[in-house]
Amino acid sequence: MNHNDPTRSDTPQVRPEDEVVRICSDLIRIDSTNYGDGSGPGERAAAEYVMGELAEVGLEAELLESEPGRATVVLRLEGQDPTRSGLAVHGHLDVVPANADDWQADPFGAEERDGCIWGRGAVDMKDMDAMILANIRHFARTGTKPARDTTFVFFADEEAGGTHGSHWLVDHHPQWFEGVSEAISEVGGYSVTLATPQGERRAYLLQTAEKGIAWLRLRAHGRAGHGSVPNDENAIVRLAAAIGRIAAHEWPREYIASVRELLDSVSEITATPYSDDDLEALLDTLGGAQGFVRGTLQDTANVTMLESGYKHNVIPQSATAVVDCRFLPGHEDDLMSTVRELAGEHVEVEVHHRDVAIEAAFEGDLVEAMKQSLLREDPGAAVLPYCLSGGTDNKALSRLGIRGYGFAPLRLPADLDFAPMFHGIDERVPTASLQFGARVLGDFLRTC
């Protein structure tokens, strides 16, 4: 007999909040960097870690690879009421690159400092992975069932658009999502602290929408030649002019439902008036989160990479730039036609990757369950909808008719500039926030 069997009734139970910090730290120490070109270490080591944590409590998950090393883990748990539609709860195991010289701590060291776990993925999104895994383990130990049939997924490749992760799973193994109607994942459920006439009040931003993605490559063509000879067909000059036009373009604003409700609610809570033409005072009340909100007021197009030339005295015949475009629901065609017009006749616009914009209602049983789980832990808070300027694996699941929300619950200190740490330096998450999130997520899974 195994006298340390965690399922024995006389063994003190390990709660999710008791091990979520350990799991998050373990995951951060596994380098699963996704460079977007297939050159990274892949997610296999992180996936094997997840498999081991699940096997330890008697659960048999499935590890699936789209390519060698590009690993996704999937597990389904039976719910209390199998007649209800299913839920998907998902995270991703990959992280964006981190330059250690820019950081105060080793980005893969998971150092605990000032009450936080530091490292790449602490915010995006090994924190949520740890909350999910800690709760699954608790369910297995205690024999608890989630409220309804739940598919848990730890995806590969989210940071490069999900081609080798969520989209691959939807294309090749859609049976895992049979009967699933809704999903939760990143980037929502975290708190911002608002100044009100009565004092400070926390508001949790629940993600109900996200912009679409168009990752484009601009390719300028010209006439090659000697660097000492005038050339009015210089590809670099043509590309620079196109970049300048795109950067200078003023994209018209449009306030979709989730953005409008967020602005109206924050205005009411903080007693800060605003107009469609004057948002600055209101946005300032959101602190670091205002960057995400600013990104949802209109379509955007940001140049992120440049490449051209091979010698100082040679004018190259081509030059390329990469542009990260994000569009509001219903705006994809307008954005593409605008970028092509701005690029001009000598610059081709190639689509490297595209994905849809999604939007779900801030109402219904699932949204109410998320609200109540937060409010049981933080009764005086507000819960507000918002649109994410980035994207998540919910885009892939939307192809199966699954409505996706961002709900990675974290109660954050007022002085922590949290949102800018997504893909930023010195990424870190408070240990108390992880424990809070583990409790809230567990409550949600039992009651949703």
DSSP structure class, residue 401? T
Q: Among 41-50, 179-188, 332-341, 411-420, which is the least confidently predicted range? A: 411-420
Please report which confidence band the pLDDT of residue 4 belongs to, taking 50, 70 and 90 as the band edges: very low
> Which CATH superfamily, name and number, covers 16-194+357-447?
Zn peptidases (3.40.630.10)
Judged against a pLDDT cut of 90, whether residue 291 lies above it is answered with no
Q: Among 115-119, 321-325, 386-390, which is the least confidently predicted range? A: 386-390
Judged against a pLDDT cut of 70, whether residue 115 lies above it is answered with yes
Question: What pLDDT, on a 0 to 100 scale, did the predictor assign at position 320?
Answer: 97
Judged against a pLDDT cut of 60, whether residue 8 lies above it is answered with no
286 close to 198: Cβ distance less than 8 angstroms: no
Judged against a pLDDT cut of 50, whether residue 1 lies above it is answered with no
- Looking at residues 429-440, what average pLDDT do you find? 98
Alpha carbons 363 and 372: distance in angstroms, whole number: 13
Question: What pLDDT, on a 0 to 100 scale, did the predictor assign at position 38?
Answer: 87
Judged against a pLDDT cut of 90, whether residue 364 lies above it is answered with yes
50 close to 23: Cβ distance less than 8 angstroms: no
Q: Who contacts 344 (Cβ-Cβ below 8 Å, separation ≥6)?
A: 238, 241, 242, 245
Nearest to 321 by CA among 339, 304, 300: 304
280-315: burial string, b at 16+ Cβ within 10 Å, e else = eebbebbbbbbebbebbbbbbbebeeeebeeeeeeb
Half-sphere exposure of 442 (CA within 13 A, CB side): 24
Alpha carbons 298 and 104: distance in angstroms, whole number: 34
* Domain boundaries 212-252+300-356, CATH class: alpha beta
Judged against a pLDDT cut of 50, whether residue 10 lies above it is answered with no
Query: Domain coordinates of the chain in residue numbers?
Result: 16-194+357-447, 212-252+300-356
